[in-house]
């Protein structure tokens, strides 16, 4: 079941107040329309009824997909309270638990888990694509605006490395990366019950530790 509540909000443009609906949780199985609004970002898009300006509000949200057994916590804050107490039972049921600090991470995670791939493998593929862009394509790291997961088909992942004026796509086989994660399970282990934030910063930290610098 999805839940929401009404809040009074002051428009950041005209300063006038109005009421908006904010969702606290979305169940992808029960509410497929809300699921699609999460993926598109429309769930977080609001419009001021006074000045008609559109803007985004990233409110904390629990997104659950019981069919695919994953729960995402969209928040810039660490997990605490009731959600943290639910983590262990969910982990015991085989759920993957993740925290997403940004909307981009949130929508990408939904796509990753719907494709049935590991987000750890995805982040390694994104890291490898970034390195290849810099080393082999003579790119400038400062020019890279984003490294994005697009999809996985037949064991091949498509990663897009974007700059302000261009972009390059990389096709990364998942098999070798899955074997690497399996062979170095201690290194790539994520504490599921803490709702870890698995993103580029997490991967970079693995390769900049003293015992494993890249």
Local confidence pLDDT in tens for the 214 residues of the chain: 899 999 999 999 999 999 999 999 999 999 999 999 999 999 999 999 999 999 999 999 999 999 999 999 999 888 888 888 999 999 999 999 999 999 999 999 999 999 999 999 999 999 999 999 988 776 788 889 999 999 999 999 999 999 887 888 999 999 999 999 999 999 999 999 999 999 999 999 988 855 444 4
Last residue of a domain, one of 114, 132, 160: 114
pLDDT of the residue at 140: 81
| 98 plus 27 within the same structural domain | yes
- 191 DSSP 8-state letter: -
| 140 plus 38 within the same structural domain | no
Scan for tokens 């985004």, then name that residue: 56
pLDDT of the residue at 8: 95
| 8 plus 108 within the same structural domain | yes
Residue 121's nearest CA partner among 167, 152, 97 is 152
| 29 plus 84 within the same structural domain | yes
Query: Could you give the number of structural domains in the chain?
Result: 2
Distance CA 22, CA 172 (A): 38
pLDDT of the residue at 212: 45
| 179 plus 95 within the same structural domain | no
| 125 plus 43 within the same structural domain | no
163 CB-contact burial (10 Å; exposed 0-12 / middle 13-18 / buried 19+): middle
pLDDT of the residue at 165: 79
| 9 plus 103 within the same structural domain | yes
Last residue of a domain, one of 114, 134, 157: 114
| 101 plus 139 within the same structural domain | no
Last residue of a domain, one of 67, 99, 114: 114
97 CB-contact burial (10 Å; exposed 0-12 / middle 13-18 / buried 19+): buried
Residue 107's nearest CA partner among 29, 28, 192 is 28
Tokens of 184: 């170095």
| 103 plus 185 within the same structural domain | no
pLDDT of the residue at 142: 86
| 69 plus 83 within the same structural domain | yes
pLDDT of the residue at 213: 46
| 104 plus 10 within the same structural domain | yes
Domain residues for the domain of 102 are: 3-114
- 77 DSSP 8-state letter: S
| 25 plus 106 within the same structural domain | yes
């Amino acid at each position: 079941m999805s839940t929401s509540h009404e809040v009074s909000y002051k428009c950041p443009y005209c300063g006038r107040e109005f009421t908006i609906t904010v969702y606290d949780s979305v169940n992808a199985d029960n509410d497929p329309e809300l699921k699609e609004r999460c993926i598109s970002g429309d769930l977080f898009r609001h419009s001021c009824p006074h000045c008609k300006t559109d803007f985004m509000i990233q409110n904390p949200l629990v997104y659950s997909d019981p069919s695919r057994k994953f729960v995402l916590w969209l928040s810039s804050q660490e997990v605490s309270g009731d959600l943290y107490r639910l983590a262990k039972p969910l982990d015991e049921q085989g759920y993957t638990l993740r925290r997403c600090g940004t909307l981009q991470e949130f929508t990408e995670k939904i796509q990753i888990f719907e494709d049935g791939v590991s987000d750890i493998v995805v982040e390694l593929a994104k890291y490898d694509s970034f390195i290849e862009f810099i080393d082999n394509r003579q790119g400038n790291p400062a020019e890279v605006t984003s490294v994005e997961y697009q999809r996985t088909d037949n064991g091949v992942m498509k990663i897009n490395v974007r700059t302000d004026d261009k972009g390059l796509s990389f096709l990364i086989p998942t098999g070798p990366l899955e074997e690497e994660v399996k062979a170095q399970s201690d290194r790539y282990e994520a504490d599921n019950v803490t709702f870890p934030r698995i993103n580029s910063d997490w991967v970079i930290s693995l390769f900049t530790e003293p015992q494993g610098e890249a």
